[in-house]
Amino acid sequence: MSVISKILNRFHDINRFERIWKIAQVDFKRRYYNDRLGLIWALLNPVLTVLVYYYVFTHIVKRISEGIDQNYAIFLFSGLIFWMAFVEMMKKGMRTLITKRYLIENIKVKKEDLFISSSLAITFALVFNIVAYLVMAAFFGVHYSFNLLFLPILILNVFLIGSGVGMILSIILIYFRDISHIINLVVMLGFWTSGIFFKAELILERAPIIYYLNPFVGIIDNVRRITLYNIEPNLVTINANIITGLLIFILGFNVIKNFSQSAMEKL
């Protein structure tokens, strides 16, 4: 960790990076070190989820897992950890104005920093899961190449989308409390259409609209290309998704800058 803060130190506003880093670290600690099992929870959650779906799709609804040559559990795991990280960033981000109220009201803090920290904390956990996944996949006979270098871009992509959506929703949540019901619905929709359970080509064939609308189809597809099939990522979707991510992030950033004060009044 200190290596990264050393690199960050080179930037102009050292304190700001330190601050974001510290709050992220503390968030992470708070989440994973307060229980006995600690970090294992970060891993246990997707593992258990994978077990359930693995059983269902290989024993009950076998058609879904047909045509996937790789180990289906590993296939599921790769998609799930990325999707779950996004959902968590969104849900944590959404409540940031409420959970970090004790800071906002007492010290002048740039609110966008709080969102970045919150998503960063979840990124730590995601990286932890990815490492666990890579070890497992290697165990099942997957070989890696330099394509793995694309992985940080994909992680960044999830971070941009997750924190951006979190910032936007945090404001909406204050004005429309029942938005959470709709979000649950959208999360479910995304869960089933992001290609976590099947290959991206299937979506491209049957419902190309989803393929282009939902960036996670591309992200998860690319994750599998570089970590499971050991082939080059799809550069078109990588670029398109990074641009989508940046746009969402910039939008969220501006929403927070412009509306967070009026929203705080309604808290």
Partner 1 sequence: MEAAIAISLKNISKTFRIHTSDTNTIRERLTNIILRKNSNYKLVKALYDINVDIYKGESFGIIGNNGSGKSTLLNIMMETYNPDKGGILETNGKMMRLALGMGIDPNLTARDNIYVNGSIIGLSFKKIGIIFDQIIEFAGLQKFIDVQVKFYSKGMRQRLMFSIAMYADAEIFLLDEFFGGTGDQEFKVKSDKAFETRLINGKTNIIVSHSMQIIRKHCKRAIWLENGKIIKIGDAITVTDQYLKSQNKS
Binding residues for partner 1, rule: CB under 8 A, are 5, 14-15, 18-19, 22-23, 26, 29-30, 34, 102-109, 175-179, 182, 261-262, 264-266
Nearer to partner 1, 114 or 158 (CB): 114
Nearer to partner 1, 59 or 177 (CB): 177
Q: How far is CA 6 from CA 15, 23, 128, 256, in A?
A: 12, 17, 21, 29
Nearer to partner 1, 92 or 224 (CB): 92
Q: How far is the CB of 186 from partner 1 (least distance, A)?
A: 13
| Burial of 16: CB neighbours in 10 Å, binned 0-12, 13-18, 19+ | middle
How many Å apart are CA 49 and CA 65, to the nearest integer? 16
Nearer to partner 1, 10 or 59 (CB): 10
Q: How far is CA 124 from CA 30, 152, 153, 200, in A?
A: 13, 12, 15, 27
Note whether 111 and 260 are within 8 A (CB): yes
Note whether 215 and 157 are within 8 A (CB): yes
Two tokens, residue 221 = 């597809």
Q: How far is the CB of 187 from partner 1 (least distance, A)?
A: 17
DSSP secondary structure, 116-185, as one string: HHHHHHHHHHHHHHHHHHHHHHHHTT----GGGGGHHHHHHHHHHHHHHHHHHHHHHHHH-TTHHHHHHH
Q: How far is the CB of 80 from partner 1 (least distance, A)?
A: 28
Nearer to partner 1, 69 or 265 (CB): 265
Nearer to partner 1, 38 or 208 (CB): 38
Nearer to partner 1, 69 or 178 (CB): 178
Note whether 180 and 267 are within 8 A (CB): no
How many Å apart are CA 257 and CA 35, to the nearest integer? 35
Q: How many residues does the chain have?
A: 267
Q: How far is the CB of 184 from partner 1 (least distance, A)?
A: 14
